[in-house]
């Protein structure tokens, strides 16, 4: 064991890097700081396959939407001046013009919602405000319209040449619709990052655990998280705790954009990951000020980030959200996006130490007695500690993050419950 490593073990994580600092160090090593260029490379995909992908270049509208003056209501296209003074008591009488013809003085033309406004028209009277006198080919208008009323002007939705999106924007279904309307059918997007997910630990089995054996859940969970976050996971078989096997397993996945291991990240005799990473490349951070999950080890091997997440399932998940998700975002040339939160009244205090960012899993319940200006939900911690208790995450509705500079949160305080899981 090398001196630095021995010191680390003897110190027993007394020195813990704050989460934000650890993330900064990792982003610097992984992509040279936050960048808006995808380091995974780019590809061109058909528009209908671009949902959830990240734009590799800014997008400018190639045409106006609408590209013609568009009737916004069913009715009659008119010149607004011809309806001036019209009311129930003294309707204006206009002639009904030919459907394909132009609107002229005192001549109205029937239009439908979405149809092109005939030449000469500058407004539409809704069908509810006219009386059609078909036998004489005339129309009574009982409401005046202003110029432009019930008409969508050219470019109202999007004006040609407008920059709609920056590079790094993650596309959603409404973006896909808008982009088709302005003339795109293919887009250049960041390649999805690829991740090798390697569970480690000789006690791990797939099924039928004997005494001392544990069913592998971390690799399975993390690989599902990776897919949900828009990247491609390769879920590897369990690797046993010997340095050579771990080395081979990490090297096998250096062709991926990220390698994630779980287990063996702490200071026990079989916790070999920090040593192996140090051997193959560089340990950037070992021991972070977060709970659960402080024994995480972040490294870099041949330019590939290697994240050695702790084995305890909750610690593993918390670290994946804190470090893996941002890494995938940086690689795609975009920034880590915040999770949506729900305000809630805390039902029981959450203890935590200053210098440690604590993730307290909570359940949400509606408050029947909530006043209009109070949070509509109450948050109850599922468990204050217990980082091996996977159900404390799975059966929770989210978590409350106690910031590094706080010493717990008191009962009755309003907290923001992060839904880190259902949001991609």
Ligand X SMILES: Nc1nc2c(c(=O)[nH]1)N[C@H]1C(S)=C(S)[C@@H](COP(=O)(O)OP(=O)(O)OC[C@H]3O[C@@H](n4cnc5c(N)ncnc54)[C@H](O)[C@@H]3O)O[C@H]1N2
Q: Given the rule CB under 6 A, which residues bind ligand MOO?
A: 291-295, 310, 312, 315, 387
Longest CA–CA separation in the chain, Å: 102
Residues 255 and 232: their CA atoms lie apart, in Å, by 13
Torsion of CA 159, 161, 167, 170, to 10 degrees: 20
Listed in sequence order, the residues at least 6 apart from 279 whose beta carbon sits closer than 8 Å to its beta carbon are 243, 247
User: Rounded to whole angstroms, how far apart are CA atoms 206 and 285?
Assistant: 31
Spatial neighbors of 339 by CB under 8 A, at least 6 apart, are 398, 418, 419, 420, 423
Q: Return the residue of 2, 12, 112, 343 that touches ligand X, per CB under 6 A.
A: 12
Identify which of residues 330 and 399 has a Cβ nearer to ligand MOO in the complex.
Answer: 399
Q: Binder to ligand X among 217, 245, 251, 341 (CB under 6 A)? A: 217
What lies within 8 Å, CB to CB, of 42 at 6+ separation is: 56, 188, 189, 190, 191
Q: Could you say which of 40, 42, 266, 334 contacts ligand X (CB under 6 A)?
A: 266
Interacting span for ligand X (CB under 6 A) from 65-73, 88-96, 110-118, 216-224: 216-224
Q: Indicate the DSSP class of residue 388.
A: T
Residue from 40, 218, 327, 356 that binds ligand X (CB under 6 A)? Answer: 218
The C-alpha atoms of residue 299 and residue 304 are separated, in whole angstroms, by: 8
Q: Is 261 in the site for ligand X (CB under 6 A)?
A: no
214 scored as a contact of ligand X (CB under 6 A)? yes
Stretch that binds ligand X, among 158-166, 199-207, 275-283, 391-399 (CB under 6 A): 199-207
Q: What's the min distance (Å) between Cβ of 330 and ligand X? A: 24
Does 293 interact with ligand X (rule: CB under 6 A)?
yes
CB atoms within 10 A of CB 247: 18
Burial 50-89 (b: 16+ CB within 10 A, else e): bebbbbbeebebeebbbbebbbbbbbbbbbbebbeebeee
CB of 364 to ligand MOO, least distance (A): 23
With CB under 5 to 8 Å by kind, the binding choice for 214 among ligand MOO, ligand X, none is ligand X
Q: Interface residues for ligand X in 354-373 (CB under 6 A)?
A: none
By CB under 6 A, is residue 262 in contact with ligand X?
Answer: yes
Q: Choosing among ligand MOO, ligand X, none, which partner's interface includes residue 381 (Cβ < 5 to 8 Å by kind)?
A: none
> Which of ligand X, ligand MOO, none binds 265 (CB below 5-8 Å, type-dependent)?
ligand X
295 contacts ligand X (rule: CB under 6 A)? yes
Q: What whole-number distance in Å separates Cα of residue 255 and Cα of residue 246?
A: 16
Task: Report how far Cα 376 is from the mean position of its chain's Cα atoms.
Answer: 24
Tell whether residue 196 is a contact of ligand X (CB under 6 A). no
Using CB under 6 A as the binding rule, whether residue 299 contacts ligand X is answered as no
Interface with ligand X by CB under 6 A: which residues?
A: 12-13, 199, 201, 203-204, 214, 216-219, 262-268, 271, 292-295, 310-313, 315, 387-388
């Amino acid at each position: 064991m090398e001196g630095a490593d021995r010191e680390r073990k003897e110190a027993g994580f007394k020195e813990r890097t704050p989460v934000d600092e650890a993330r900064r160090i990792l982003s610097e090593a992984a992509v040279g700081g936050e960048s808006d260029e995808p380091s995974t490379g780019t590809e061109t995909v058909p528009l209908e396959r671009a949902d959830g992908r990240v734009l590799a270049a800014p997008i400018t509208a190639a045409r106006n939407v609408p590209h013609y003056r568009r009737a916004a209501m069913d009715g009659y296209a008119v010149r607004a001046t011809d309806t001036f003074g019209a009311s129930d008591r003294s309707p204006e009488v206009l002639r009904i013009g030919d459907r394909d013809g132009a609107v002229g003085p005192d001549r109205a033309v029937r239009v439908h919602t979405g149809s092109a406004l005939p030449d000469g028209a500058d407004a539409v009277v809704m069908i509810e405000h006219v009386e059609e006198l078909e036998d004489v080919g005339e129309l009574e208008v009982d409401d005046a319209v202003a110029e432009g009323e019930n008409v969508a002007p050219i470019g109202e939705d999007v004006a040609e040449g407008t920059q709609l999106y920056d590079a790094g924007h993650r596309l959603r279904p409404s973006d896909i619709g808008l982009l088709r309307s302005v003339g795109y059918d293919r887009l250049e997007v960041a390649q999805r990052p690829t991740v090798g997910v390697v569970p480690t630990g000789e006690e791990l089995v797939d099924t039928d655990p004997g005494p001392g054996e544990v069913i592998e859940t971390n690799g399975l969970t993390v690989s599902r998280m990776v897919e949900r976050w828009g990247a491609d996971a390769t879920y590897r078989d369990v690797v046993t705790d010997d340095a050579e096997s771990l080395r081979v397993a990490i090297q096998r996945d250096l062709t991926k954009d990220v390698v994630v291991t779980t287990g063996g990240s702490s200071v026990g005799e079989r916790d070999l990951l920090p040593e192996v990473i140090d051997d193959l490349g560089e340990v950037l951070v070992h021991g972070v000020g977060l709970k659960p999950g402080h024994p995480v080890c972040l490294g870099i091997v041949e330019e590939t980030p290697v994240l050695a997440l702790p084995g305890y399932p909750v610690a593993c998940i918390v670290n994946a959200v804190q470090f893996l998700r941002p890494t995938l975002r940086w690689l795609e040339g975009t920034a880590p996006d915040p999770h949506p939160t729900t305000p809630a009244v805390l039902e029981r205090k959450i203890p935590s130490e200053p210098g440690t960012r604590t993730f307290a899993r909570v359940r949400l319940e509606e408050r029947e007695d909530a006043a209009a200006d109070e949070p509509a939900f109450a948050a109850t911690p599922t468990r204050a500690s217990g980082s091996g208790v996977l159900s404390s995450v799975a059966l929770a509705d989210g978590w409350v993050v106690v910031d590094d500079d706080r010493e717990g949160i008191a009962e009755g305080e309003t907290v923001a419950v992060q839904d880190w899981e259902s949001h991609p």
